Amino acid sequence: MVVAATKSRGGFMKGVFLCLWAGVVSLFLFTACDVERRKSDAELGLTPQQAAGRRVYDNECDRCHEPYSSRGKKGPGMKGVFEKPYLGLSGMPANDVPVTDIVRMGREKMPGFGQVLNQGQIDDLLAYMHTL
């Protein structure tokens, strides 16, 4: 009787484990559907300056701004930022001058990077942002 109960309990535990495993795999598959493989600089056709700007973006901007999405993280997404006539949150013209000022001095919740990035890095960053 004890052997039968032990086998029955082992089958139950195996079933629970398989259900949990299936749930984890399903969760991974459903969340992975929205994730796109990161393209290389060459696949994106980036120039050396744009590729350097992408590295600046990855190091300083990506934690708060999605590059290839209009959905934001802490800040707005940057997809098509220069394709619109005005910046979404501030209403300022969407060109290099106000964006440089925002990067350098910050705005509202965004810290300024004027002490972190030199003008060459900001120029590279802008060149990359024009590809988004």
pLDDT band at 18 (very low <50, low <70, confident <90, very high): low
Looking at residue 78, its pLDDT comes to 92
Looking at residue 7, its pLDDT comes to 52
Which tens digits make up the pLDDT trace of 84-130?
Answer: 899 877 889 999 999 999 999 998 889 999 999 999 999 999 999 99
CA distance 119 to 107: 18
The identity of residue 19, as a single letter, is C
Q: Supply the mean pLDDT for the chain.
A: 81
Which has more confidence, 74 or 52? 52
Q: How far is CA 93 from CA 8, 38, 56, 65, 87, in A?
A: 70, 30, 23, 19, 6
Looking at residue 70, its pLDDT comes to 76
Say what the pTM is. Answer: 0.70
pLDDT band at 69 (very low <50, low <70, confident <90, very high): confident
Which residues are within 8 A (CB) of 69 and not within 5 positions of it... i.e. 6 or more apart?
A: 77, 79
The mean pLDDT of 39-59, rounded to a whole number, is: 95
91 is written with which tokens? 């209403």
Residue whose C-alpha is closest to residue 66's, from 50, 79, 56:
79
- Inform me whether the pLDDT recorded for 23 exceeds 80: no
Which has more confidence, 84 or 56? 56
CA distance 11 to 98: 65
The mean pLDDT of 44-70, rounded to a whole number, is: 94
Residue whose C-alpha is closest to residue 109's, from 78, 79, 75, 86:
75
